[in-house]
Structure 1
Amino acid sequence: MKRILIQLILMSVLCLGYCGGLFAQATSQISGTVKDATGAVVAGAGITVTQTATGVTRSATSDASGVYVLPSLPLGPYRMEVKKEGFATYVQTGIVLEVASAPTIDPVLKVGAVSESIQVEASTVTIETSSTGVGQVVNSQDVVELPLNGRQVTQLITLAGGSNVVQAGFGQSPTVGNLMSSKNYPNEALVSVGGGMLNGTTYLLDGGSHNDPFNNLNMPLPFPDSVQEFKVETSALPAEYGQHSAGAINVVTKSGSNQFHGDAFEFVRNNYFNANDYFTASPAHPNGQSDGLKRNQFGGTIGGPIKKEKVFFFLGYQGTLLRSQPAALKAVLPTASELAGNFTAYEAQCFKTPQTLVGAYTNNVLNYAVPSVVTNFASYFPVGPEPCGNVTYTISQNQNEHMGVAKVDYQINSKQSLFARYYGTHSLQPSSFLPSQGELSVANAGTDDTVSSLVLGHTYLISTAMLNTFHFSYSKIGITKFQVPIPTPTDIGVAGMYTALPHFSNINISGDFQSAGGFATPGLVNTYTWGVKDDFSVIKGPHQLQFGFSFLRPRQTSTFCVYCNGLFTFSGARTGNAMADFIAGLPASMIQINVSHDNEKWRSLGLYVQDSWKVNPRLTLNYGLRWEPYLAGSIDNNYVSHFNMQNFMANVHSTIWPNAPAGNLYPGDSGINTGGRPNFTTWNNWAPRIGLSWDPTGHGKTLVKASWGMLFDMPHTLFYYNYATEPLWGSSVTLINPSFANPWATYPGGVSPFPTVQNATSAYPKNGYYESVPLRVHNTYVDQWNLAIQKQIGSSWLFKASYLGNDVIHLWVDQEGDPSIYLTNGMFGVPIDPITGACTLYIGATPTTYTPCNSTKSTAARRLLTLIDPLRGTAQAQGPYYGSLELLNDGGTGSYNALILSAEHRLTQHFSMLANYTWSHCISDAQTTELSAPITNNPNNFRYDRGNCSFVDVHHNFNFSGVLQSPHFSSQTLQWIAGNWQLAPIIGIHSGSYFNVTTGLDNALNGAGSTSLGQRPNLMLSDPYCHPKTVTCWMNISAFANPTAGTYGNLPMNHLEGPGYIDLDLSISRRFPIREKQNLEIRFEAFNVANHPNFLNPGTANLAGGTNNTVMTASTFGKIQGDVAPRIMQFAIKYAF
């Protein structure tokens, strides 16, 4: 098979040299059937189309069936001429080709002289017959004229329907891991297209790959004035699409033309014009507090000819300067009473149902003096107000961003064209740390991020029936996270801690406050991707055949210090409340890791063939096949391992790392010849696609489409980066229920193993963290199908009704392979011995008796592999070796069904609009987005966490956008007063997303850590909501109760629905003509015009580190803590020529 692969690649390379070019930018095509007035087909007619902006022409001849095809045409306005001896020349104007669209135009010739002409104006909307997917184009006018918040074109994704964007505030959570974090460029979007995975969408910019390989999200997209068109497409796409399964976002930048054109603009925001955030209101500020926002976005574009009808250029720049001090940030800080160990007032007054603390507390008073390490750490923060400690505070959030695009198009001759496009961005976000506010201000460490993207494309029209396009792309992303001066664990008196990095700590009191957190951890992430793609198409009678290949080569180098100084988590697991755990100095866990280095190299290859067969003028079949093997990425220095339970039971050890624990093998060991990869390559990945388009009337105004396809999804480099934390190179060690003052006191030997030494004779740390992926892992793939009806009414209206369905197969989920076992009566049906008090655990076929049967032993002592044999290691260091062991399971599944209804009116009669309503439902197992995040709750049954899809499952979604222009008045006075006005609204209304309630405790006593999904409670009432629902009482907290020790709650996964969303954004503008083809525009825009509070889910603050859970042990349980932005206004001035 490898020989076949090499041959295919060599053939493709030869094709590059012989055939010429690829997929020139993003393109379109025109096809149709030439007929005479009687309906008979006309063979041998000459069809010529001319792009009116550049003068570029393309020709074809109708075949014996009257059929013609003009593939891979550059986007823009066109004029068509059709000539045939004995007929008058047919001329059609007003044709506009849009990204990835393929209008059908059927010229009707009338008898006459060729010198005569028949003029026809094209419809502004056309039905598309060539693609099997369901899609929507947003044209250049809407891109520029619609009020896009932050001028982010990713907002256009939702306007297309069938898509959900995760709102700000859900950046990191157990259900999305680090997909969106400070490890990524700030303008990336977390979006689900067509019910697909949040990072399962293909992004194309000018035909080149525009995905961030670190997380498979988008690299930042250009600003609106530089975008020509934008298309969202999903569901059973043609075989030329691969690598991701959800859909494709195709963006095209503008090009120059024979006339110079461009603009200069500035958009200004100031806090004086904005509403205050709902949650900043207080007795001192009843109307809320200002966020101090000041933002200027400025720049311009220019395009034109270098040599008319030959060489064209386009340049664009946008700068953004942002200054703000949001006042709606919330924290819960220890009060003076709590710092004295007294929680009496807190528990009595801060919960709807008063709590009684357990463990180290008697009558809610600490049994011993508050440890000095606690008071030392608390001294870096203000003292919280009595009795609950709730504070609202302000930090600075500033950003400077610069982005630019440069593009050159070269029409070499009538058969060949070439283009080159460069796009670059730079974002600088200083740290939020302010010495005057202390550690409370450390929300982020600050970042310095750059993105560069280069695309080259070449198109070669070999003949009127054969065309080849070639395309090369290269991108580089550099993410730098700064370091800020915050105390280390050693600085506050934690004993025995190794400090790998000065001025850094990660101490988290869940739901209350933290020292720094994930957004303040220093690190470096650099990714580099180059790729080539070649597509060859040939027309044979009614068949339009296309075949080609694509190859991407991503590479990543990164350095992290996430837990290098330790992560202390106080969750409420030890006393019933996170703050009480902290005051008592009793963390639920502590994790420490060496400074980790994750350097990876990946490959992605796809070969395809597809055919569009025009069976007759009313029926077109589209079918194809894509071969897309899974080429596992290689990790530098062989930093991967593989655990096998059979090897563990047989006490098999690595020959590469002889001191490694039993069962864990490495590249070079027998059977692990992966070449430094986590698993073997999967060659047998075949993805068929098939669909049909049927015109039931034959008039080209009605279309019925149906299709089915299989699409694979390839992982991102982030997925495997936790291998960098394994022993010996990373040596992640997790301590359960340690002491804050001296966490390593109960570790075997009582001494920290850090810093670890890495050589073949080194001893492995105890309770180490490990992860493993099946050597023969299956790729996630999606079976997709759709049925759609399109109806064109008049020349401007298009109505669509589409059903979308998909089944996700081999969804990757993460399970705990070394859970703690709850030793109790009835365990696995084995009763406690009534005389000895012993119980027997069957591990495999081997019975093991424990006397006494003790469920209160430490989490580490009850881990499965420790119970089997804690000393299964080497003489250099006796076990237990294994702490948490994360195993990938590729057996997850999911499903999605949706109905999309849409209406579109292109700009005629002074208005355009796009409206759609989507009903959808998504059910899924808990997808893992990276090894160790998230870990399913029940290690024996990952289906326990099956439920409504996190973030994706929004049942009702309505979007409306439009542009309304004032008419031209014959009266000069009236035209001066009422002419040249424009109104452009965006309306979004959708129901709430679903979320979890978690206990914050290890009720199941299975050792679930901070990266798990969170154990859920028992649902005690059929209606868990408050009535009425308010921000202080969204859920009835009496509806939830902790399950019995050793059991799992009955609350289903993502069972609770959060608040809905209503938003109106509006742009009002007026243009003042200066002279011919020049004008000055004054624009006013408002976002959330009605200042409607759009609340986040309960328990989620409007910080970048929000979650999708609300925790029972938090004082904010059941309450809404944050919202999306209030009303924001901005003013703009733009000069266009």
Structure 2
Amino acid sequence: MLKEGDKMLKVPAARSPRFSKTESFFLHIGIGLSPRRLSTLLFSTHLVLCCVAVLCLHASAQVRFGSVVGTVADPGGATLAGATVKLTNLGTNETRTVQTGSIGTFTFPNLNAGLYRVEIEMAGFKRFTRDRVEVQVDVATRVDATMQVGNVTESVLVTSEAPPLQTDSASLGTTISQQEVQSIPLSGRNVNNMLTLVPGVVAQGGTYGNAVSNQASGARTNAIGFGNYAIGGGFGNQSQFYVDGVPSNGPANNLTSYIPSQDVVQEFRVVTNNVGAEYGNYAGGVINITTKSGTNNFHGTAYEYLRNKVLNANDYFSNLNGFSRPPLIQNQFGGTLGGPIQKDKTFFFFGLEREVLRSGTLVTTTVPTPAELSGDFNAPGLPPIYDQSQPGNPQFQCNGRLNVICTNRLDQTALRIFAATYPRPKQPGTINNYIVQEATGGVNNQYNARVDHRFSDKNNLFARYTYWKADSNAYDAWGTHTQGQGPTGVYTHEAILGDTHAFNPSTILDLRLSLLRVFEHEFPANQNVDLSQFGPAWGALKGQLVAPANFPAMALSGDNQSVSGSGFGSQLFWHQNVYTLSGSLTKVVGRHQLKFGGDVRRVQWISDPENGGLNLNFNQYATAHDSSATGGGSSVASALLGIPASTAVTPGIIGGSRAYYTAYGFFLDDTFQATNKLTVTAGLRWDQPGVYSEANNYDTVFRPDQPSPLGSFFNPVTGKTQPLMGNVALVHSSAWPSQREDYLHWKLFSPRLGLAFRLTDRTVLRGAYGISYPPTTVSQDGPNLSPINLSPTSVTNTFQVQTGQPNSIQATVADPFPFGINQPLRRSATPSFFYGQSTFAMRVPGNPTPYVEQWNAAVERQIGKDSSLTVAYAGSGGTHLVMQGWATVSNIGVNQLADQYFSMGPAALLTQVPNPFYGVITTPGSPLSQPTIAAGQLLRPFPQYERVLAVNPHKGRSNYRSLQTSFMKRFGGKGILSVAYTWSRLMSDTDSVTAFLDEGFLFGGSLQDNNNLNREYSLSSYDVPHNLAIGYGVDLPFGRNHHFLDDTHGVLGGIVSGWRVNGITNIRSGVPISAYQIFAGSALSQLGGGQGYFGAGGLWMRPDVVSGCNLKLSGSPEYRATHGWFNTQCFAPVDTTSVVRFGNEPRNLGSVRMDAMDNWDLSIAKRTSITESVYLQFTAEFFNTFNHPRFGAPDNNVGVLPGVLNSHFGIVTSQANPPRAIQFGLRLGF
């Protein structure tokens, strides 16, 4: 429409024109600083900021920005140089102005996410205006203009949306807008769950729904689960999360320190492949979250979301076992407020949220029966038990009844511990006989405050502070108050100060200073236990423990009953501090947009007194007849006799551990507009990721290349004198002069290259390649793990059925540590301290640096005016990756017997021979201090030690291939549809160190042969061949401004108007399954094979798979869950009593998998306008709408006896996803 003066003309969107062609700045920052130190700190900070500005340091700062680029041409397609381009932020009225260059292009870099107006003027042409241009984080938004001949007082207003193509970057990524963030139904309002909408992303355990109580079916809160997503072929927790341009990952397992409230998130951007050189410290992808800021208009919300069990479905196994729906009361409420403090100058935004959760979970486990605890083992399925105190080891009998231990033989201390620990069975039988619903829950509070100040069009400052407090209640499924988990909590503080200064429109400096502080605490179910109740020997232990004494924990293994162990829960106090100083300089020079930068991060991990746990480990050997496959024996019976296989205790850390490191990163990035069709992005990054030091040098390393202080020894097995290698060295000593655990790496360069070519106005071709270095903190490998801090004590008993020699019983239940408890030695430790340790773990210097190569080739096609389709081939390969360990500590055994000796067999390897270390190694209770020793011990690489674990070893590899497709359609401002499908294959010999978070995880996929990693290469535990995600939000076409009933007014108009449907659908394959068998106590276990709990390796290995056997079973998932998920006859336990070898089962089996995911989350919202600017919205949300149970992992413990499978092997007893839940919400907004 034309007007007088400033005339306006509406035209379609313009088509693209066609034409040819430093160590640390925060060394020891603490919580309390003296005035003098504070003054010094402020001066140092000022000096550093100045240096950063000069040197253009950066790695993470500008990642909160987007940009606007474009080309200006005349009606014939010729480019126009010298045109004036003005950009206006519609929320704050901030403006920038540039001139087009010699080839008619313009660039506005470093823009905050939001809506903008682009205006272009040039003499002889009408003014071009495009309104509501959306700028997204880390995305270049293209606005091309074809000018029309006329007077500059006339205007051409483009009203349609810009084409949804990514024309200037070769990254594979997805942006989720503010409207989508606000409307998508998210269980627990967990915005990280939006990651599942992105191609190439697989959510792992502890991620879905509430952040509170996210582990072990709600038993506790674990921060490691907040960011536990496998992205782009990487493993869980190996990606980087940025909030407002600052990394939010902490040092312990690279954990994501908090999850922003849904109502404070402005935008959510995920890049899964070919991340720019400004990013480092990742192996998968990068997530950018931008928080909301105030504008010239006041806006805010007040909301509440409610759940109650009366609205929910029941868990599948609760129904099956006759339990009603577990209790559930969930209440999330909060509000936001943002607006101007001074219009066009200063803006604020504040948000708060509180969640209160009370819920329940179904627990299925095995406990001893009253008959067993009285000594009677005659129930069906229980093994025969034998009396080793009698000649010939006859079967136990009492008053003529076989398999019964007379009560006078039962150990009274063991009976007291059993009685106080285990509940009575609630179900018949001896397996899975305890099923109960246990209460869980917690409280979550979050506060966000942000201020933005505009000094001028050239200078902007912002500051944000976030506090998050997530607490979980105590968890005690057995109701005995002696096991389970006490209260846990994660408290996060994050403070950011950022300044952006535009020297001119083409030169922009950005600086960031941030502090991230995470405090984690965990308490056991019990503390300050009076150990004297178990007898005088126990009473003498309490004074030797640093941390408060916990109730003794019992581990029962080695037979097919698989009685659950009684864990005492963990106790820890962790303070994690990350100080980040970063800066960037962006310079537009002709066709080049250059970015220079770097950052420095100071990381501290403070660990205060940890576990004072007392462990009693039992197996079948104390009640077995002999070492044959049919030798019988019961771990419960062994415990009742008071004869453990081993005992272990960690007294705790005196005064805690103070670990720290400093990391640097520098980069150069160039976005080159080679022609109007071709954009080249090239970058180079250099990193020095840092290595832990301990503030007081309380740390050790293992030096396999150094001669042992013991010199040499005569080996009676080989008949030769041989030198001894391997030395434990204190850091900052002559044996290891450095204060760090490993060498620093100075040659870590990572190139990045991407090409984006506009084949036509509707088709873009992209390709890219890059290298990145994963975070060094994926595994918990801090100095707090050093034996001189933990100082574990263990005592191991040996049995005739294992060695052929008389039993050697040193530890009993009545006196578990007859030689006392080792005390933390710190700097007074000598190499002799480690000779008697059954297991110790520490860093082995010389670790290569892990790196990941990523590549992709993609084609994107615009379909119609508001839809796009992308098809991409994306791959990655990891080298020198961190090896998976059990739970959070990556480790590998370095003192395993060489495979060449396996053929000797267990009898020869366990035969006792004269001990050459007798009288030299004098640690009480150690096999190395006895007159004789197993022959196999003297054939180990380091025979003066027992099990030696290298922590955080970099020996793994991975290979990822995928076809990723995505389709997006916008419905003219009234809705959006996104569809993402990924076909992929992930191979590896390692996996995520966060696997313990997955529902039903039981040691599957673990390393067994430490000497032969080639045998570990198989499908990854997180191989997901098919992954479909659908996200949608659509206004229903009824009522005002819609297709139907548009002319309806009054009450009826209010009823039919304002309806919207939103949802997320996730359908994906199940992950591979693998089986394991217990082989603790076997020759292979004793001599270093297999993995186990950290510090207690050699607990399990893999069985044999019967050749040609069909693993798959027919039937519905419901039938297979309770009758057998797979064909259990395809597995056979290895007879570890007669042979020394590992099973032939691959690390993971792709032919049988866990249950697939089929989840639909849906919401229906009704928005009612109260005034022009105030609205009330009611929402009904349905999570797992169709109540599809996703069955958990089947019991994968094959058993221990050849030909006798665990009777519950292959049976599922848990549901991996929550049943249907309905949530109602009410929101007032303006």
- TM-score category of the 2 structures, normalised to the smaller one: 0.7 to 0.9
Residue aligning to 1:371: 411
Query: Are 1:910 and 2:984 counterparts?
Result: no
Q: For 1:374-413, what aligned pairs fall within 5 Å after superposition?
A: 374-380=414-420, 381-384=422-425, 385-388=427-430, 390-413=433-456
Q: For 1:604-615, what aligned pairs fall within 5 Å after superposition?
A: 604-615=663-674
Are the aligned partners of 1:980 and 1:1070 in contact in 2 as well (CA < 8 Å)? yes
What per-residue deviation string (whole Å, max 9, x for no partner) do you get for residues 518-577 of structure 1? xx2222011111101111111111111111001111101112533x33233446687576
Following the alignment from structure 1 to structure 2, what is the Cα–Cα distance between the partners of residues 757 and 170? 43
The Cα of 1:931 is off from its aligned counterpart by 15
| Paired AA for residue 964 in structure 2 | I
Match of 2:751 among 684, 688, 711: 688
Q: For 1:199-214, what aligned pairs fall within 5 Å after superposition?
A: 199-214=237-252
The Cα of 1:926 is off from its aligned counterpart by 2.0
Match of 1:621 among 662, 674, 680: 680
Following the alignment from structure 2 to structure 1, what is the Cα–Cα distance between the partners of residues 457 and 79? 28
What per-residue deviation string (whole Å, max 9, x for no partner) do you get for residues 904-963 of structure 1? 12342632111111111111112574999998321321232222222x211111111101
Change (3 A) 1:651 1:868: farther
Following the alignment from structure 1 to structure 2, what is the Cα–Cα distance between the partners of residues 400 and 553? 31
Following the alignment from structure 2 to structure 1, what is the Cα–Cα distance between the partners of residues 67 and 292? 18
Following the alignment from structure 1 to structure 2, what is the Cα–Cα distance between the partners of residues 821 and 576? 30
SS in 2 for 1:986: strand
The Cα of 1:495 is off from its aligned counterpart by 4.7
Query: Are 1:507 and 2:573 counterparts?
Result: no
Following the alignment from structure 2 to structure 1, what is the Cα–Cα distance between the partners of residues 55 and 907? 76
Are the aligned partners of 2:1074 and 2:1196 in contact in 1 as well (CA < 8 Å)? no
Q: What's the RMSD between the two structures over aligned residues? A: 4.0
Following the alignment from structure 1 to structure 2, what is the Cα–Cα distance between the partners of residues 170 and 881? 43
Q: For 1:253-332, what aligned pairs fall within 5 Å after superposition?
A: 253-281=291-319, 285=322, 288-326=323-361, 328-332=362-366
Percent sequence identity over matched residues?
25
Following the alignment from structure 1 to structure 2, what is the Cα–Cα distance between the partners of residues 662 and 797? 63
What per-residue deviation string (whole Å, max 9, x for no partner) do you get for residues 1092-1118 of structure 1? 1111111399xxxxxxxxx99865421
| Paired AA for residue 92 in structure 2 | T
Q: For 1:790-801, what aligned pairs fall within 5 Å after superposition?
A: 790-801=860-871
Residue aligning to 2:819: 751
Change (3 A) 1:36 1:423: same
The Cα of 1:186 is off from its aligned counterpart by 7.8
Match of 2:579 among 525, 530, 541: 530
Residue aligning to 1:352: none
The Cα of 1:1078 is off from its aligned counterpart by 0.9
Moved more, 181-190 or 740-749: 740-749
The Cα of 1:580 is off from its aligned counterpart by 5.5
Residue aligning to 1:450: 491
Are the aligned partners of 1:821 and 1:1005 in contact in 2 as well (CA < 8 Å)? no
The Cα of 1:1085 is off from its aligned counterpart by 0.7
Match of 1:1119 among 1208, 1211, 1217: 1211
What TM-score do you get using the length of structure 1 for normalisation?
0.87
Match of 1:1036 among 1115, 1124, 1127: 1127
Change (3 A) 1:571 1:548: farther
Following the alignment from structure 2 to structure 1, what is the Cα–Cα distance between the partners of residues 779 and 530? 27
| Paired AA for residue 16 in structure 1 | A
Q: For 1:981-996, what aligned pairs fall within 5 Å after superposition?
A: 981-996=1059-1074
The Cα of 1:667 is off from its aligned counterpart by 2.1
| Paired AA for residue 528 in structure 1 | N
What per-residue deviation string (whole Å, max 9, x for no partner) do you get for residues 748-789 of structure 1? 995134345556387626225333434232111001101111
What per-residue deviation string (whole Å, max 9, x for no partner) do you get for residues 174-232 of structure 1? xx999x99684387231111111212111000111111221212121211111111011
SS in 2 for 1:668: coil
| Paired AA for residue 764 in structure 1 | F
Residue aligning to 1:594: 651
Q: For 1:129-278, what aligned pairs fall within 5 Å after superposition?
A: 129-168=167-206, 184-185=222-223, 188-278=226-316
The Cα of 1:821 is off from its aligned counterpart by 7.3
Moved more, 572-581 or 214-223: 572-581
Following the alignment from structure 1 to structure 2, what is the Cα–Cα distance between the partners of residues 439 and 858? 40
SS in 2 for 1:396: strand
Residue aligning to 2:53: 16
Residue aligning to 1:844: none
Are the aligned partners of 2:223 and 2:255 in contact in 1 as well (CA < 8 Å)? no
Query: Are 1:1006 and 2:1088 counterparts?
Result: no
Change (3 A) 1:33 1:737: farther
| Paired AA for residue 753 in structure 2 | I
Following the alignment from structure 1 to structure 2, what is the Cα–Cα distance between the partners of residues 340 and 523? 37
Query: Are 1:342 and 2:405 counterparts?
Result: no
Residue aligning to 2:101: 63
Are the aligned partners of 2:329 and 2:359 in contact in 1 as well (CA < 8 Å)? yes
| Paired AA for residue 221 in structure 1 | I
Change (3 A) 1:955 1:775: same
Residue aligning to 1:1136: 1229
Residue aligning to 1:956: 1026
Match of 2:615 among 561, 567, 584: 567
Change (3 A) 1:668 1:414: closer
Query: Are 1:805 and 2:875 counterparts?
Result: yes
SS in 1 for 2:180: helix
| Paired AA for residue 1076 in structure 1 | E
Moved more, 336-345 or 225-234: 336-345
SS in 2 for 1:374: helix
Change (3 A) 1:1113 1:422: farther
Moved more, 982-991 or 1036-1045: 1036-1045
| Structure 2 gap segments, 5+ residues each | 1-21, 28-45, 389-393, 397-401, 623-631, 713-723, 800-807, 884-890, 916-926, 997-1002, 1041-1045, 1198-1202
Are the aligned partners of 1:1083 and 1:1131 in contact in 2 as well (CA < 8 Å)? yes
Following the alignment from structure 2 to structure 1, what is the Cα–Cα distance between the partners of residues 692 and 435? 45
Residue aligning to 2:1144: 1050
Are the aligned partners of 2:126 and 2:156 in contact in 1 as well (CA < 8 Å)? yes
Residue aligning to 1:788: 858
Are the aligned partners of 2:236 and 2:992 in contact in 1 as well (CA < 8 Å)? no
| Structure 1 gap segments, 5+ residues each | 349-354, 654-659, 842-854, 873-879, 1102-1110
Change (3 A) 1:523 1:491: farther
Query: Are 1:1026 and 2:1074 counterparts?
Result: no
Are the aligned partners of 2:90 and 2:115 in contact in 1 as well (CA < 8 Å)? yes
Following the alignment from structure 2 to structure 1, what is the Cα–Cα distance between the partners of residues 844 and 819? 34
Residue aligning to 1:431: 474
Change (3 A) 1:972 1:397: same
| Paired AA for residue 1015 in structure 1 | M
Change (3 A) 1:768 1:578: closer
The Cα of 1:640 is off from its aligned counterpart by 2.7
Following the alignment from structure 2 to structure 1, what is the Cα–Cα distance between the partners of residues 613 and 1008? 27
What per-residue deviation string (whole Å, max 9, x for no partner) do you get for residues 439-497 of structure 1? 37x43210243111111111111112211111111111111223543657764459567
The Cα of 1:2 is off from its aligned counterpart by 8.8
Change (3 A) 1:895 1:824: closer
| Paired AA for residue 1016 in structure 1 | R
Q: For 1:653-672, what aligned pairs fall within 5 Å after superposition?
A: 663-670=727-734, 672=736
Are the aligned partners of 2:207 and 2:228 in contact in 1 as well (CA < 8 Å)? no
Are the aligned partners of 1:338 and 1:583 in contact in 2 as well (CA < 8 Å)? no
Following the alignment from structure 1 to structure 2, what is the Cα–Cα distance between the partners of residues 190 and 452? 20
| Paired AA for residue 554 in structure 1 | V
SS in 1 for 2:970: strand
The Cα of 1:82 is off from its aligned counterpart by 0.4
Change (3 A) 1:1136 1:863: farther
Following the alignment from structure 1 to structure 2, what is the Cα–Cα distance between the partners of residues 705 and 459? 31
Are the aligned partners of 1:966 and 1:978 in contact in 2 as well (CA < 8 Å)? no
